[in-house]
Structure 1
């Protein structure tokens, strides 16, 4: 089972967070015949067939407008049978969004570099298991799971997965009762594309729902394509089980559409590799409500700790919100700000919320700059970028914004000397 979209902010526990380390390869695949254009032309069922000659899609798009959910937007199903070394990809989105994905879908290099991680028929071969630092095993009471076979260092990329299905959120909203009645026409065309066995083996959680829709809803990750929110089904990373205090974090990169599991702390051989299916940093009552969507009781170390330990953790997490507000109070003195910052960072370390620290440091950068301490602002900008590049898309908007802030601050420091 895998998580739904993780869009979490610190104050509402809903902002996207979504160090790349890839093994050097000694060979490269043959080039793909598709040469991406600078500005791809949107292509749908009304476009001339000749336009498809320069696109990576291997079947004509099937399009409709889902009036049953009040949409005026045309959605099309695009299929790329050659994607991911023949494992295949189905994309259910708008023509504009599909056009923006054309170059990434046509690029054969991501699958080539990640080939040791990509399961055939839902299983890694013995040779693959010998080259990676994990294996997929049956976990008591959890179904399948993933355990480390060797030491994995913090910030290390553990696993790489490429999507089998990508669905626009407007077509497939979060609430099941909002699903378009026309959906069945799409799902029947998705089922069986490429290496369908790697999808078919994933967990399901609903009765009376099309198997593809069920698998997507149960296992999808949040992705953002051409400014549109969507769900991406990544079968390999979907094998990672949930923990409220996980040792890994899923990171989406738009440039290659890959999802990578990145270690948030050192992981020892034999230790289960876990991610969180819900936003990190939630106190116990919030976690229980969020996890109810998956229909299981969490038995992770945090949730099964003694009541006193859970209460202490919840108190610290509530305190983080209080400190964050206090740091931005108009009347706070510089000395108080420094002390609040120290308390905040120490609490984050105790609660092991490293994946969110980049966002926190970005806030500290702004707070200290407004307080007239450009040197501390620069320090937090650099720290924020380091952690954000580890746990978020390095080329995404958040990291790009931090780089611009860092450049500005560095120029300010040079100009002030």
Structure 2
């Protein structure tokens, strides 16, 4: 049975199939977005960066930003509007993991769950002052926090601290709750953020949500990677979820807990299978150039079977589903090739299926559908449509 298409996409399809300018322009299938892996353990602390400046958002001063002085030159003025959204979630107690975040309504894949201004944004390498008492070794961080309104400062100190042995309580809290946000405009160092409600989101090795930093609102946004029914808990991954279980548990020990998600709870052969699948997922993109070239050759060679090029890509999509892990560095390349292959054999429903998935996951990871909505609405308008048939007539 054909999948139901929403009125929104029917409208897009009608506009694209009958363009007002009569040009008949083709739609481009988006190229996969390439992500850049970052490993803090391999980074080096800044040298001679100078002093830290502390900036606040106005009005309200609800967020403090700690910037190295040399980074301040290219940083935008902090007057951005705040896109807070608390209508789709609530913070509540969980059975075994303290506080958690739960959706209050059904959230579709790619849908926004929450958007929150951080309490504090700071360089991931904070200056450590050896000449001060250990409990006061991060004075810039403490100075920043006292600039917050009392309720926001209280919220910060109410967050979990999985490093109680650390003499500095503020450092323990940021190490427990930090979210990596990368480079800021004009910056030379990597930055992280600590939020209030988002810090309550618990971990899963097969997360149903992902977070990203939105510069336009200077907020952290959380979107669904899978459909989340009302009342369900939201999970993100604190670590690289493609690692084998023993490595994931070791990484999570820094947060003071052992993961008991469905995939970490497996034993025996089912655990071995899960670790094998994740190892394949982790390096799935290694041969993307070869697979892209094979797709091009297949599209122009009518003597090859119609399903020849799809077999490996479909296998990997099955791996993603089996582990409930659409791994950000690799998933889009497979969806792109499968969508192109369906277009090449004029399988409109198959093309829409993969474009629909790519649209939703792109929204989840980037906040933008990246052009996939147009492909979903009218795959027959893509440059790949009918390539196999055209090759056979040449």
Question: Which band: TM-score by shorter chain?
Answer: 0.5 to 0.7
Question: Aligned runs of 1:376-395 on 2, under 5 Å?
Answer: 386-387=359-360, 389-394=362-367
Alignment-derived partner of residue 63 in structure 2 = 89
SS state at 1:196 partner: helix
Residue 15 (structure 1) aligned to one of 13, 16, 37:
37
**Does residue 255 of structure 2 align to residue 291 of structure 1?**
no
Q: Is the 8 A contact 2:211 2:221 kept in 1?
A: yes
CA distance, structure 2, for counterparts of residue 344 and residue 158 of structure 1: 28
Alignment-derived partner of residue 354 in structure 1 = 326
1:271–1:96 distance in 2 versus 1, CA, 3 Å: same
Question: Aligned runs of 1:299-338 on 2, under 5 Å?
Answer: 299-321=260-282, 324-325=285-286, 328-329=289-290, 334=298, 337-338=309-310
Alignment-derived partner of residue 205 in structure 1 = 162
CA distance, structure 2, for counterparts of residue 361 and residue 153 of structure 1: 19
Q: Which has the larger radius of gyration?
A: 2
SS state at 2:222 partner: strand
1:380–1:97 distance in 2 versus 1, CA, 3 Å: farther
1:245 is displaced (CA, Å) by 1.5
Question: Aligned runs of 1:128-207 on 2, under 5 Å?
Answer: 132-169=87-124, 171-172=125-126, 179=128, 181=130, 184-194=138-148, 195-206=152-163, 207=165
Residue 173 (structure 2) aligned to one of 211, 215, 230:
215
Alignment-derived partner of residue 55 in structure 2 = 79
TM-score by length of 2: 0.66
TM-score by length of 1: 0.63
Q: Is the 8 A contact 2:109 2:360 kept in 1?
A: no
SS state at 1:293 partner: helix
Q: Is the 8 A contact 2:109 2:361 kept in 1?
A: no
Alignment-derived partner of residue 301 in structure 2 = none
Q: Is the 8 A contact 2:51 2:68 kept in 1?
A: yes
1:391–1:153 distance in 2 versus 1, CA, 3 Å: closer
Aligned residues between the structures: 318
Gaps of 5+ in 1: 1-12, 17-68, 118-131, 173-177, 404-409
Alignment-derived partner of residue 124 in structure 1 = none
Residue 220 (structure 2) aligned to one of 249, 252, 259:
259
1:297 is displaced (CA, Å) by 0.9
Alignment root-mean-square deviation, CA? 4.2
Could you list the per-position Cα deviations for residues 255-292 of structure 1 after superposition, in whole angstroms to 9, with x for gaps in the alignment? 22211111111222332211111123222122122212
Q: Is the 8 A contact 1:159 1:261 kept in 2?
A: yes
